[in-house]
Amino acid sequence: MIKKIAKIFIIILVILTGAFGIIYFAKNEKLPIGDSPEKADELANKMLVALNKPAWDSTNLVSWTFAGSHKYVWDKKNEKVSIQWGENLVFLNLKEWNKGKAFIKNEQIKDKKLDVLRGKAYAMFCNDSYWFIAPYKVFDNGVSRKIVKIENQKDALLVTYSAGGVTPGDSYLWVLDEKYRPLYFKMWVKILPIGGIKGTWENWITTKTMAKVATTHKIGPITNIISDINTGSDLSEIGLPNSYFDIIK
């Protein structure tokens, strides 16, 4: 009986492996080789003009919800952020890691689980904030930009991160519309086994501080919505007391 079960398991494993192999070779794209970095910088700057980057730069506070479950309050000016999911609430001081605090059901965590929660919250913040404001990050330190020709000899912007976040080395190929706003990008990232997966940037809105952000991202059958977006110059403008982050001073 045990041998029979093992044989069935092996057959299923072979079938699944073969199916993945078919999908991999059908969908996997090699990372394109770009050139013309000066021209790429021009295209990147046109995108930032279209999205009003100065407005984003002057936005001190922003709150949002990612995919209906991860809730953020980000003090950009002072580099502090709170992340809430389920019964967890984590406050991170991005300049002084040890000041970060975590709570479960309003009870402060002080044992070894504290750093587990802080680490998970930071990884979530890196991922979810990227989907929120990635176009504004194309001139971050450690980022290179090149031009890749796509259909009809249209210029697309290849952006590669050599540092930052939790997955340095990731690359994204941005395709822009006629107004230089992102339509979608293709991803070559460590977290995905297949290169060239497409993620859309749709339903653009203008925030209260006049920065422009996309609120819908489709990746295959998955749609992630960014909701409850609020921006301001201080915490009171987004409905919170100015003492909100005092806990991690």
CB 195 within 8 A of CB 185: no
Question: What digits encode the pLDDT tens for the residues 109-145?
Answer: 999 999 999 999 999 999 999 999 999 999 999 999 9
What whole-number distance in Å separates Cα of residue 106 and Cα of residue 224?
Answer: 28
Question: What digits encode the pLDDT tens for the residues 88-101?
Answer: 999 999 999 999 99
Residue with tokens 């991690």: 248
What whole-number distance in Å separates Cα of residue 51 and Cα of residue 57?
Answer: 11
Nearest alpha carbon to residue 122 among 165, 86, 78: 165
CB 157 within 8 A of CB 174: yes
CB 78 within 8 A of CB 61: no
pLDDT of amino acid 237: 94
pLDDT of amino acid 168: 73
**SS3 state at 215:** strand
- Those residues with Cβ within 8 angstroms of residue 12's Cβ, 6 or more apart along the chain or in another chain: none
pLDDT of amino acid 183: 97
Joined together, the tokens standing for residue 68 give: 């209906």
pLDDT of amino acid 165: 57
pLDDT of amino acid 164: 61
The ranges of the chain with pLDDT < 50 are 1-25
